[in-house]
Amino acid sequence: MEAVPSSLQAEIQQTTPFRSLSEEAILSILRTADLVRTAITDLLAPAGITMQQYNVLRILRGAGEAGLPTLAIGDRMIESAPGITRLLDRMEAKSWVSRTRCKIDRRVVHARISTEGLRLLDNLDQPLRSSTALGLSGMEESALGQLIQLLAAARQSIQPGEPAAPRQTAKDEEFASKARN
Amino acid sequence: MEAVPSSLQAEIQQTTPFRSLSEEAILSILRTADLVRTAITDLLAPAGITMQQYNVLRILRGAGEAGLPTLAIGDRMIESAPGITRLLDRMEAKSWVSRTRCKIDRRVVHARISTEGLRLLDNLDQPLRSSTALGLSGMEESALGQLIQLLAAARQSIQPGEPAAPRQTAKDEEFASKARN
DNA sequence: CATCAATAGTTGACATGACAATCATTGTCT
DNA sequence: AGACAATGATTGTCATGTCAACTATTGATG
């Protein structure tokens, strides 16, 4: 990163009565994420599905016929296992997924997306994927690129000495995941 | 797979086969926010206080002796009223706040921060304010400035035609708020 | 003054999220 | 084999967040 003319900084300082840029950045991140979250939630609501459920569906679609063990889903969403179990409970009740106990290792339970689940996803993919609905379409590509990089830097900065759990390779199916520790 | 990442962008592309920059940006925002959230949560946990509760305390500290009506708190956190009621229930149980019914308008209930609440805040302010603990201290000032601006742009882009509820002027006491609408 | 809409809070019901504890199975070690 | 630690899921409990419905007041209106 090259040094930026202090004019920009002055400008910012002027308009932000925050203790520090760092704190303002934190606030900005939280606020923006909440906006995004509610935007997505609102988009999904008509279909009667929550963000987390949608997330699981996408993960399961990516997993294919074989399905995925409960904990594996939890890993991808980096959410605690108990949550997944209950999430799947509700999704199974809506027939979006089915669960079967593994015959090889009877401790494992595989969850698979159902035809209905796939249909639901197909209907939802477009509106969400075309980020038009989600906004951000108004931003320039270069700005988005910068934003992405800066956020990556922020995450780096937040997670300093952590043993760095094997960074999950964000596959195609994931939509949003949670941070841990 | 051995595509030697010459540029940063290539590096990112390599690990993130996202449909669009926009979507990747959204994911980045969500992930980063969650990281921040858990970082803050972890910082507060030892004191036995949650982020929301800490938030309310700061708002109440800002409100001073007079206290603040329940719904007013909700407005500042842009959180639904029911949540505030129960949040205050728990906080009152811990004697961090007290509530009194307004004599002029008996529908209103004022919440005030207690001495204990103030003491708690004093103990927590430093570690949180010195964003050292929270990370982001590793980022350059200029990068933080850029990040803040880009996030602001993103929020603009997300909330397009909304009637734009009167933007709350982020006062001193607020720490984090939620998005609404 | 009696009725009623609006306002401020609260309660009820349900979905998450996080932690601790528990159950069933596997794998290991002796 | 028999005891036990480790693993995969699930259940219990508590804090939140959201929506709908309800209570208590206030204020406005005829």
Q: What is the pLDDT of residues A27-44, one digit of tens each?
A: 888 888 888 888 888 888
The CATH class of A20-158 is mainly alpha
Contacts of B8 (CB under 8 A, 6+ apart): A149
One-letter amino acid for residue B100 of the chain: T
Nearest of A62, A23, A11, A33 to residue A172 by alpha carbon:
A62
Average pLDDT in chain B? 76
Model confidence at B149: pLDDT above 90: yes
Neighbours of B120 (CB within 10 A): 20
Distance A37 CA to C17 C1' (A): 16
pLDDT of residue A85: 93
Closest nucleotide (C1' vs CA) to A83 is: C17
Q: What is the DSSP string of B101-151?
A: E-SSSTT-EEEEE-HHHHHHHHHHHHHHHSTTTTS-TTS-HHHHHHHHHHH
Confidence of residue B89 (pLDDT cuts 50, 70, 90): very high
Q: What is the DSSP letter of A177?
A: -
Q: Is B141 exposed, middle or buried (0-12, 13-18, 19+ CB in 10 A)?
A: middle
Percent of chain B having pLDDT more than 70? 71
pLDDT of residue A160: 52
Nucleic strand D near CB of residue B119 (< 7 Å): no
pLDDT of residue B174: 59
pLDDT of residue B129: 65
Q: What is the pLDDT of residues B5-19, one digit of tens each?
A: 334 334 333 333 456
Cβ < 7 Å from nucleic strand C = A 50-53, 79-80, 82-83, 86-87, 90, 104-107, 178; B 38, 69-72, 81-82, 84-86, 88-89, 99, 102, 105, 107-110
Query: Which one is predicted more confidently, B76 or A60?
Result: A60
Model confidence at B3: pLDDT above 80: no
Model confidence at B181: pLDDT above 70: no
Q: What is the pLDDT of residues B16-68, one digit of tens each?
A: 345 678 888 888 888 888 888 888 888 888 888 988 899 899 999 999 898 99
Rounded Cα distance between B129 and B160, Å, is: 33
pLDDT of residue A14: 35
φ/ψ of residue A122, rounded to 5: -60, -40
Tokens of B28: 């980045």
Q: Which nucleotides of C are covered by protein (CB under 7 A)?
A: 7-13, 15-21, 24-27
Q: pLDDT tens for chain A, 181 residues: list them.
A: 444 444 333 433 333 345 678 888 888 888 888 888 888 888 888 888 888 899 899 999 998 888 999 999 988 886 788 889 999 999 999 999 999 999 999 999 999 999 999 999 888 877 676 655 566 767 888 999 999 999 999 888 876 544 334 334 344 455 555 433 3
Query: Which one is predicted more confidently, B128 or A64?
Result: A64
Nucleic strand D near CB of residue B88 (< 7 Å): no
Nearest of B156, B171, B149 to residue B77 by alpha carbon:
B171
Model confidence at B4: pLDDT above 50: no
Whether A83 has its CB under 8 Å from any CB of chain B: the answer is: no
When CB atoms are compared, the residue of A1, A151, A158 closest to B39 is A158
- As a whole number of angstroms, the longest Cα–Cα distance in chain A is 66
C-alpha angle A144/A50/A120, rounded to 5°? 90
